[in-house]
Amino acid sequence: MGVLELGKDTGQFDEEPADVEAASGRRRRRVGLAKSNVMRYFESREAVLLELLVSQVKDFFPLASARLSSDVVPQHSATDRAAAVAAALSAEFAKQPTMYELLDAQAGALERNISAATAADYKRAGYETSGEFAAALRRALPELDEPATVDAVKLIVMLVGTIWINAHPPAAVQEAYAADPGLTFLPDGFERSLENAIRAVLLGLLAQATDPV
């Protein structure tokens, strides 16, 4: 059993971390894994967290695909199906807080201290999984061709990390919002804001598909 599989089996990745690196340390201690032991398997802390992100994404996309199959009615209009897709995905994404923290940290931190080989492995795994999810999205919205659904998945993944971090600001910002709710950047919260954003992306791609520039 690998390091990450052990962590998942013991429930160590279920919490919502405020800081992914600090959370990683807590999780190592929880299952009795010293940092030196973890580093035998990975070249850096960033590589550990990237592997965790890949693992979480691989677990998530089949669940999201199944949710699309159950919630999207093929006989409905494309607009209604896009709305159903947005609602289903935002609800599923809302259950994955650790994944958002990692997605938000991916480009700015996690990809900074890894080898080219690790980066290539990570990208290949991500593209393979996102390709499978794009196929599920295409079944829900057959009006979109393969390039359009691949673009949709990339945009959705980027939106998830950005909206999550803005919906969960640092303590000082939360205090400012509490004192003056009018300052709140995302008053609808994470799930609703993500749903609106995904719907906008899908409607835009559908419009482009029916009336290409």
Q: For 81-115, write each residue's pLDDT tens digit.
A: 999 999 999 999 888 877 777 777 776 677 777 88
Residue labelled with tokens 């993500």: 194
Measured between alpha carbons, how far is 193 from 190 in angstroms, rounded to an integer?
Answer: 5
**What does the pLDDT read at residue 188?**
93
Report the C-alpha gap between 173 and 168 in whole angstroms. Answer: 9
**Selected residue with higher pLDDT from 17 and 114:** 114
- pLDDT band at 123; cut points 50, 70, 90: confident
Give the mean pLDDT of 162-177. Answer: 91
* Residue 14 scores a pLDDT above 50: no
Please give the Cα distance from 94 to 165 (Å, whole number).
13
Residue 148 confidence (pLDDT): 94
Please give the pLDDT value at position 44.
77
CB count in 10 Å sphere of residue 94: 17
φ, ψ for residue 166, nearest 5 deg: -75, -25
Rounded CA gap, 92 and 100, in Å?
12
How confident is the model at residue 125, as a pLDDT?
Answer: 84
Q: State the Cα–Cα distance between residues 38 and 28, nearest whole angstrom.
A: 8
Distance of alpha carbon 48 from the chain centroid:
17
Is 178 a residue whose pLDDT tops 50? yes
What's the pLDDT score for residue 140?
95
Q: What is the pLDDT of residues 181-195, one digit of tens each?
A: 999 999 999 999 999
Amino acid at 91: A
- Residue of higher predicted confidence among 136 and 102: 136
Q: How many residues does the chain have?
A: 213
Task: Count CB atoms within 10 A of the CB of residue 169.
Answer: 15
